[in-house]
Amino acid sequence: MERVFSIGKLAAAGGSKVETIRYYEAIGLLPEPERNAGNQRRYSARHYDRLVFILHARDLGLSIEAIRQLIDLSSHPDMPCHDADEIARRQLDDVRQRIARLKLLEAELERTLSDCSHGTIAECKVIETLAQCGACERHHRPPR
């Protein structure tokens, strides 16, 4: 007999929150579970496996749409994996871009702190740097 989970036990087993499971059901990433006579959701090992897949993909930073595409691809086991590879490649590129931005931010913060003379707020390099928007990614424009 297959093991059946309540939503709380599925959440605990998967390391997520009940609300997360309900959300993934609502957007169609998790299939709707069967319900018992008391109308309570009853999840199977298939739901657990899908939940773990989704949570791992989210931990890797994949978007909901990318996860949806990967789930769709997984239902065609005989197809070449080119499309799945491309999704992972795009994610890797995005991660590398974020790392590069973080390194720039790290350097800017290190420079700011190394310039600090520990004086007064009027001489504070942290405040001055933020006002100058040194490594800021936003393109600020003065109000008209």
Give me the residue spans of the domains in the chain. 7-74, 82-132
By the 10 Å C-beta count (0-12 exposed, 13-18 middle, 19+ buried), 119 is classed as: exposed
CB atoms within 10 A of CB 76: 9
For residues 88-92, average pLDDT? 97
The reply to whether CATH 1.20.1440.230 applies to domain 7-74 is no
pLDDT digits (tens, 9 = 90+) for 9-61: 999 999 999 999 999 999 999 999 998 888 889 999 999 999 999 999 999 99
Compute the C-alpha angle 30/87/52, nearest 5°.
30
Better-predicted residue by pLDDT, 38 or 142: 38
pLDDT at 1 (0 to 100): 56
pLDDT at 21 (0 to 100): 97
Residue 96 has pLDDT above 80, yes or no: yes
Better-predicted residue by pLDDT, 35 or 71: 71
Residue 133 has pLDDT above 70, yes or no: no
Residue 106 has pLDDT above 70, yes or no: yes
